Structure 1
Amino acid sequence: MNPTHTLPIPPHFERVKVGQVWRVPYQQLAQDAQTWAKTHQIQPAIADSPKICLLAIDIQNTFCIPDFELFVGGRSGNGAVEDNQRLCEFIYRNLHRITAIIPTMDTHTTGQIFHPIFWVDRNGDNPPPLTQISLKDVENGIWNVNPTLAQTLGDRHPEQIQQYAHHYVKQLEIEGKYPLIIWPYHSLLGGIGHALVSAVEEAIFFHNLARHAATGFELKGNHPLTENYSALRPEVLLDQTGTAIAHPNSLLMEKLLEFDLLMIAGQAKSHCVAWTIDDLLRDIQERDPKLAQKVYLLEDCTSPVVVPNVVDFTDAADAAFARFSEAGMHLVQSTDAIDHWPGLEGAGSFSNQSRGK
């Protein structure tokens, strides 16, 4: 096997099941992965040169399985399923090249600022999902913090939490971020929606065992007082007194930039993916703008949030990706051979990643 070529898809992978949930058979899959590595002479990831990372953002049931809480259908209506079919095949075909996989996992509890129970109207009713809460709404008393919930949020008084809520929506407006959206309860820690998509979990586990490369899970989004679309930075870091309530994930930033090549996929293109890339790009531009050239965005493995007749973030997502491309990042397709990607033509540098046969 020429080391610049792709691997076949393992026989256990069933494309038609990607939109379903099942139990991954770990023990059998572990044996299959180790046999696969021997058959195709796949070397341990520690010897890779260059070192390549796949950052897989929030590929969880809650976003990727039809009929789950926040299924990302995109304009096709089946976006996340189609994205993950391509992503699984990409992982298997390039198993011998991908050094590390870092899945981020949106991780929530019920009483968070973007869930219905956090807010009440004048009648004490919670906002329905997909309600947008603006600064004007809070100033006019249309929506207030649920006083009963506020008592459960640590050592802050309910009045302080209400003041913080005003500060929060004001900061979103000042910083030009999306307005506060009340999402359906989703990605709840311990629930089935929080879990990785079964087919993707299977592919990541297979990679782990075949390449002796531990999966680098990253949890995000569990602070009750801020959204956390980006894997690298919460939406709001300071409260109304200037006290830090959350911190950027500087350790993950450093880890990502240590790789020679960083690939990014996941959900949703308009939210968690775009926000993560935006934070990554901001850090890169402060360090060395040329670092953007080692970032590859798998554009056919991500879809925007589209709720028919309610909201469509497709244009905003595409505009963000165009801006990332202008900054030096590469927009690529998972179905194209890596060695044909911009800047990697020839792929001679992949020669250490498989002995071939």
Structure 2
Amino acid sequence: MATQTSTQLNVPGFFDSRRVGEVWRVPYQERAAQAKDWAKQHGLQPAAKDKTRICLMIIDAQNTFCIPEFELFVGGRSGIGAVEDNDRLCQFIYHNLGIITEIAPTMDTHTAMQIFHSVFWVNDAGENPPPMTMISLDDVKSGKWKVNPAIAYSIAKGNYVALQSFALHYTERLSQAGKYPLTIWPYHSMLGGIGHALVSAIEEACFFHAIARNSQTNFEIKGSNALTENYSVLRPEVLDDPTGRPIAQKNTRFIQKLLEFDAVIIAGQAKSHCVAWTIDDLLTEIQAQDPALAKKVYLLEDCTSPVVVPGIVDFTDQANAAFQRFADAGMNVVQSKTTISSWAGITL
């Protein structure tokens, strides 16, 4: 009889660590057949029968962040952070295939004309800010950077004055909330582009899990709103316009879904930004409902890396400080090599 088991499984023979940093096509039909055989061989039950329901949330494990030659590769201080993280994460999924109930990958999703992309802004010379420019409230007040009038047609139905007013409001909101200044990022995670896709090895592991456990992979899309950054999958950085009218909202449905699991495991990229922001928003919701719920959250520290651009920015210290704060609040910082059954608070 198939049961939920604490035994770690072997990694399937098709997995190749050397290809984690590459882009390739997942052979779905072949993997589906292998997954069914794997489930039968190891007596894996459908996820619906799990007594202890465990969700693995994988934040933005997309080519744009995780493949070295892509736009925003998260190298960390080692220079190859995201590749190493995803190697460990794939093996974690395969080892714990019979334990993980559901996998929820988040997908950073962008188009060209968004507030954190160069084309959105110009200076008096008509130049767009280069990637990694930080635009502060003072920069907008002084007119150092202004909204590009040419995009008003696409973003605000031609109302440039309203768009410029919003830009001032937006940077003011970030400043008031103690957020990072508005960062101009390279064009990345572009909807319809190859950078938007999950890393092939991660996609393959998620697909294999879905078939083996009869558990639909729960993709969560974020970041498509032109007027706000959206590091966290649970809420955008700014929710309203200068008049107080909403421009976006919290992902209440997903928040409640996560909190209904017995355990939530979090990994992905980048530790300093989308991972930290998502965990921070989850912690805020937990503390508003029941601070004890923090104990059901497990952070895979060796499956995430911070943003580091040598000679320009290094968010390692901020990322580590955030994880320490999460641990102080009751969340569990764990390593992928340890067995889930050994983690405090989990009984299988």
- Do the structures match in fold with TM over 0.5? yes
Distance in 2 between the 1:140 and 1:289 partners? Answer: 42
- For residue 140 of structure 1, report the CA deviation from its aligned partner: 1.1
Query: For 1:202-217, what aligned pairs fall within 5 Å after superposition?
Result: 202-217=204-219
The TM-score, its normalising length taken from structure 2, stands at 0.98
Partner AA of 1:112 in structure 2:
Q
Distance in 1 between the 2:345 and 2:163 partners? Answer: 50
Equivalence for 1:45? 47
Query: For 1:194-343, what aligned pairs fall within 5 Å after superposition?
Result: 194-343=196-345
SS of the aligned residue for 1:105 comes to strand
SS of the aligned residue for 1:269 comes to coil
Structure 2: stretches of 5+ with no match in the other structure: none
Equivalence for 1:190? 192
Partner AA of 2:171 in structure 1:
V
SS of the aligned residue for 1:336 comes to coil
Distance in 2 between the 1:216 and 1:252 partners? Answer: 10
SS of the aligned residue for 2:10 comes to coil
Q: Higher relative contact order at CA 8 Å, sep ≥6: structure 1 or structure 2?
A: 1
Query: For 1:139-218, what aligned pairs fall within 5 Å after superposition?
Result: 139-155=141-157, 157-218=159-220
- For residue 2 of structure 1, report the CA deviation from its aligned partner: 9.9
SS of the aligned residue for 1:151 comes to helix
SS of the aligned residue for 1:112 comes to coil
- For residue 152 of structure 1, report the CA deviation from its aligned partner: 1.2
Equivalence for 1:109? 111
Distance in 1 between the 2:288 and 2:5 partners? Answer: 36
8 Å CA contact retained: 2:39, 2:45 = yes
Equivalence for 2:65? 63
CA deviations on 1:281-316 (whole Å, 9 max, x unpaired) are 000001000000000000000000000010000000
Partner AA of 2:52 in structure 1:
P
**Runs of 4+ with deviation above 3 angstroms:** none
Equivalence for 1:125? 127
Identity, in percent, stands at 62
Aligned residues: 346
The TM-score, its normalising length taken from structure 1, stands at 0.96
Partner AA of 2:222 in structure 1:
K
- For residue 342 of structure 1, report the CA deviation from its aligned partner: 2.5
- For residue 222 of structure 1, report the CA deviation from its aligned partner: 0.2
8 Å CA contact retained: 2:4, 2:98 = no
Distance in 1 between the 2:4 and 2:152 partners? Answer: 61
SS of the aligned residue for 1:334 comes to coil
8 Å CA contact retained: 2:239, 2:249 = yes
Structure 1: stretches of 5+ with no match in the other structure: 351-357
CA deviations on 1:236-269 (whole Å, 9 max, x unpaired) are 0011111100000000101100100100000000
CA deviations on 1:71-126 (whole Å, 9 max, x unpaired) are 00000000000000000000000000000000000000000000000001111111
CA RMSD after TM alignment: 1.1
Equivalence for 1:355? none
Partner AA of 2:94 in structure 1:
Y
Distance in 2 between the 1:164 and 1:292 partners? Answer: 35
CA deviations on 1:9-51 (whole Å, 9 max, x unpaired) are 0001001100000000001010010011001111100000100
Distance in 2 between the 1:321 and 1:300 partners? Answer: 12
Distance in 1 between the 2:211 and 2:196 partners? Answer: 23
SS of the aligned residue for 1:152 comes to helix
